[in-house]
Amino acid sequence: MCSATHWGYVIDGALRVKYPGGKEDIVSAGEVFYWPASHTGIVDKNVKFVDISPDGKFIPVMDHLAKKMAAANPK
């Protein structure tokens, strides 16, 4: 679960966000979003979005995602 809060805008595509307890939201192109802490994002199709988050919690999340992506796509 992500410990950062996020605000943003989806430019293209869509993504699904899951919360503890089973609630899910789908955010699609043209929509703005707010995701409170304790969520997991799932990309079902390509997505482009602008994310505005506090640096202190966002940078560790992005570092974690970069490591996961590198491990899934070794060169």
Give a yes or no: residue 1 inside a domain: no
- pLDDT, residue 66, reads 83
Domain range for 12: 6-72
What is the reported pTM? 0.74
Report pLDDT for 53.
79
How far CA 15 is from CA of 24, 26, 36, 74, 75, in Å, comes to: 10, 6, 15, 24, 26
What average pLDDT does the segment 15-36 reach? 94
pLDDT over 80 at 29, yes or no: yes
65 located within any domain: yes
Let me know if residue 41 belongs to a domain: yes
- Give the chain's mean pLDDT: 87
Number of structural domains found in the chain? 1
54 inside domain? yes
